[in-house]
Amino acid sequence: MRPDSILTLSCPDRTGIVYRVSGLLYDHGCNILDAQQFGDEESGRFFLRVHFDRDVGLPLDTVQASMRALASDFGMDWQLHDGRRRARLLVLVSKQGHCLNDLLFRAHSGQLKVDIAAVASNHADFAPLAASYGIPFHHLPVSADTREVQERQIIDLVEREKIDLVVLARYMQILSPTLCRALAGRAINIHHSFLPSFKGAQPYHQAHARGVKIIGATAHYVTEDLDEGPIIEQDVARVDHAMTPRDLVRLGSDTESQVLARAVRRHVEHRILLNGHRTVVFR
């Protein structure tokens, strides 16, 4: 079977980009399996994702070397990924386990093609759940006095386990600017609403008190600006006057789990490109 790869790029929009990229791949005997593109009139940038396969005897480094020269000509920001490599995940969680449980099941059942290398938490509640899947659990308690040390432990874990993506699966701690910078572009958070709305404690109780008719969830990249990172995925669920706060929590938990799983899948399949503060998400 021919190994497959994924090329993603963005650059100032101009004629000849697709022609030159497809020609480069053709010259190396590669076969394009799927290609998606988008030209943004507002930013003047062009975005491209190409999934292709190549001969077994053709090293990916050879394609990379040719891409460097082409990228220089067009001012491209680009990445070339080995399609066979499974992303390694670190999942951070606190005391709400619905998103963690969903990710563990999806990874274990093959619905999500990732390897969850570790689970870490500031509480010990979900150590048995992680153990049931044979995944190492790291209890990293934190307080105002120990935050810097605890975050250093997280960074050490990311480096030691060669983590590709950190998933904040209802991890109820605000990350420091230092940790946000260390994880820039490789940390995803799930939020319980369309941002910004109903922040703080008991968001579903707040929503119930205001008589909302929809509740939602937002998955976004983590940045130093709290809950203001580029949005990857969102969804809503309709509610009505007969629902209790407990009903909203249940419905919201399902929505959060689904939105986070979709965001993780988009990331590990290299379908997300940054467009300023926004994202281009290829389906």
CA–CA distance, 8 with 52 (Å, rounded to integer): 11
pLDDT at 53: 97
Intrachain domains 4-82 and 87-281 with the same fold: no
Residue 226 pLDDT grade (very low, low, confident, very high; cuts 50, 70, 90): confident
Q: Could you tell me whether strands 77-82 and 4-12 are parallel, antiparallel, or unpaired per DSSP bridges? A: antiparallel
What are the boundaries of each domain within the chain? 4-82, 87-281
Give the residue from 256, 165, 178, 272 showing the smallest Cα distance to 219. 256
Helix, strand, or coil (residue 64): helix
pLDDT at 197: 65
Active-site residue identified among 4, 227, 235, 254? 227
Do residues 271 and 83 touch, judged by C-beta distance below 8 A? Answer: no
Domain 87-281 coded CATH 3.40.50.620? no
CA–CA distance, 126 with 70 (Å, rounded to integer): 48
Confirm whether 73 is a catalytic residue: no
247-277 residue pLDDT tens = 999 999 999 999 999 999 999 999 999 999 9
CB-CB neighbours of 260 under 10 Å: 28
Domain 4-82 coded CATH 3.90.1150.10? no
Q: What pTM was computed for the model?
A: 0.93
73-117 residue pLDDT tens = 999 999 999 999 999 999 999 999 999 999 999 999 999 999 999
Compute the average pLDDT of residues 167-180: 96
CA–CA distance, 49 with 76 (Å, rounded to integer): 13
Pick from 128-137, 198-207, 236-245, 252-261: least confident: 198-207
pLDDT at 199 over 80: no
